[in-house]
Amino acid sequence: QVSGYLDDCTCDVETIDKFNNYRLFPRLQKLLESDYFRYYKVNLKRPCPFWNDISQCGRRDCAVKPCHSDEVPDGIKSASYKYSEEANSLIEECEQAERLGAVDESLSEETQKAVLQWTKHDDSSDNFCEVDDIQSPDAEYVDLLLNPERYTGYKGPDAWKIWNVIYEENCFKPQTIKRPLNPLASGQGKSEGLCVEKRAFYRLISGLHASINVHLSARYLLQDTWLEKKWGHNITEFQQRFDGILTEGEGPRRLKNLYFLYLIELRALSKVVPFFERPDFQLFTGNKDQDAENKMLLLEILHEIKSFPLHFDENSFFAGNKKEANKLKEDFRLHFRNISRIMDCVGCLKCRLWGKLQTQGLGTALKILFSEKLIANMPESGPSYEFHLTRQEIVSLFNAFGRISTSVKELENFRNLLQNIH
């Protein structure tokens, strides 16, 4: 139900779909399969900083131990029998969620060695950014290709709680979000008590939420027997989340926010081209030929993106007067850091992995948008002290964009599936 012109750019959904699905998506997928982009270092063991009562389903200690039947007096046996049935099914559910939500941490010996080399390389480059959590001994590399984002059977109560906290407490939540105005157009100033940038922040988070739900509907666990597991499109699930009537208009709005997020990340990528074009920049894995090849592919993708006519209003977003812009930047940063910490409260580890990766990717995109001038003035060679991206930021930026790009592609698949039904 989303088509035609978007509020955010003078382009229509169909143009974005064509551009993404046929020109960008296939190349991006290829790039993301390369060694540089498939290994992401992440600390999944950080405690949730906001509350203690994380649902433990999806972890070993969530299991409820059923009573042994001869411990129980006869008089209440019938009742306890039922209880233990329930407990058993709860354990099964937990084990199921654990299996599906677990993160596969296996890396080949070869990869482990290579990774050590990368770390040395990263340390020796001009990596002056804040010391990240990835220095923690708890942080580990994971292979993203081995851990695809998909439906995990995880329905812990904290899933909705987390999004609720994000929206209610961390999103500059607008009172009513009836008619999204063009957040990129200048001169609209305040509406519904929110400045355009803050409303844009809300839309980004909503877009991220929509994107994750598109993936979960597209890679739904359709069949789960000991013989085989089958993941695929679940149209019912998709409709429950996005159908205009079933969601009382919310669904199409969420999808518009998804396109908004797509355009914002696209814009960040088009702005950061000079950083990647510098001859000093390498996608370092130690394999010279492959690294050079991947850099070529990366630049090809970036130039494709740059050629896409975005027609944004260049002066309105993130660029007010200097003092205001700095204040806004700081506001965004605080909110964003908070949201990435909330990801530590996600019970299912695989969901936590992808949640962290995507928030870091979006955070990197925002960092780029707030640094447009620095990037434009970057020296062509030699160290750049004003603007820098770490390997982690680069990996998350492209993988996060890869997720949104996959969502746009999946929307086409759902459109076709729905047409075949009717």
Work out whether 93 is an interface residue with ligand NAG (CB under 6 A): no
Q: Which stretch binds ligand NAG (CB under 6 A): 28-36, 114-122, 284-292, 333-341?
A: 333-341
Measured distance CA(37)–CA(273) in Å, rounded: 17
Which residue shows structure tokens 């790039």? 31
Q: Which of 84, 170, 257, 285 binds ligand NAG (CB under 6 A)?
A: 170
Q: Which stretch binds ligand NAG (CB under 6 A): 262-270, 273-281, 330-338, 411-419?
A: 330-338
Angle (CA) 200-203-209 rounded to 5° is: 150
Work out whether 334 is an interface residue with ligand NAG (CB under 6 A): yes
Comparison of 50 and 276: residue with beta carbon closer to ligand NAG: 50
User: Please, what is the minimum distance in Å from the beta carbon of residue 210 to ligand NAG?
Assistant: 16
Q: Which stretch binds ligand NAG (CB under 6 A): 78-86, 207-215, 229-237, 411-419?
A: 229-237
Work out whether 224 is an interface residue with ligand NAG (CB under 6 A): no
User: Please, what is the minimum distance in Å from the beta carbon of residue 169 to ligand NAG?
Assistant: 4
Q: Which of 169, 293, 314, 386 binds ligand NAG (CB under 6 A)?
A: 169
User: Please, what is the minimum distance in Å from the beta carbon of residue 52 to ligand NAG?
Assistant: 13
Q: Which stretch binds ligand NAG (CB under 6 A): 13-21, 162-170, 291-299, 302-310?
A: 162-170
Comparison of 122 and 224: residue with beta carbon closer to ligand NAG: 224
Work out whether 125 is an interface residue with ligand NAG (CB under 6 A): no
Residues with Cβ within 8 Å of 15's Cβ and at least 6 positions away in sequence, in order, are: none
Comparison of 142 and 342: residue with beta carbon closer to ligand NAG: 342
Q: Residues binding ligand NAG: what is the number (CB under 6 A)?
A: 13
Q: Which stretch binds ligand NAG (CB under 6 A): 103-111, 178-186, 235-243, 254-262?
A: 235-243
Nearest Cα to Cα of residue 400 among 262, 235, 199, 256: 262
Q: Which of residues 31-90 bind ligand NAG (CB under 6 A)?
A: 50
Measured distance CA(306)–CA(6) in Å, rounded: 19
Q: Which of residues 237-276 bind ligand NAG (CB under 6 A)?
A: 237, 240
Give the residues lining the site for ligand NAG (CB under 6 A).
50, 165, 169-170, 220, 222, 234, 236-237, 240, 334-335, 338
